[in-house]
Amino acid sequence: MPLKQGIAVTGAINQHGEVLPVGGINEKIEGYFRICHKAGLNGNQGVLIPYRNRRNLMLDRGVADAVAGGLFHIHTAEHAGEGMELLVDAPFGMTEVPGVFQPGSVLARAQDTLLAYRRACQLSGHHDPEHNKPGSKRVR
């Protein structure tokens, strides 16, 4: 799935997909803004930052004015899925049923790709579990 190229991303993610705050958030945003401003603001540029960093924002007037005018955007996320939805313009696909994802979603497409890869491996004969053991030799 193609990613939006005008959105810079910063943050940390834990093993549960929670987006964690990071340091230097104002400097990171202002640095990316300067690059976008020099290239020409077109309303599609912005940043994706951890939700918990929003209270730390103290941005210079140029960034604040561009945000107010819709030329630059500051997005926040609490979970990796929210960030993916923003970056690919598609639902992430989480459901209450493990292994069942919303059709057309990021997770459903990833699952489809992995299943296709598995089928291709099985058809090519690379599905033999003995094949991957150290020191094993396959005989055809």
Residues 108 and 102: beta-carbon distance below 8 Å: yes
Quote the pLDDT of residue 140.
46
CATH number of this structure's domain 7-88, picked from the four choices 3.40.50.200, 3.40.50.410, 3.30.230.10, 3.30.930.10: 3.30.230.10
| Side chain identity at residue 17, one-letter code | G
Quote the pLDDT of residue 41.
97
Give the confidence band of 124 by pLDDT, cuts at 50, 70, 90. confident
Q: Where are the domains of the chain?
A: 7-88, 96-134
Quote the pLDDT of residue 94.
80
Q: Please check the confidence at residue 134 and state whether its pLDDT lies above 70.
A: no
Three-state secondary structure readout of 32-64: HHHHHHHHCCCCCEEEEEEHHHHHHCCCCHHHH
Predicted confidence (pLDDT) per residue in 55-80, tens digit? 999 999 999 999 999 999 999 999 99
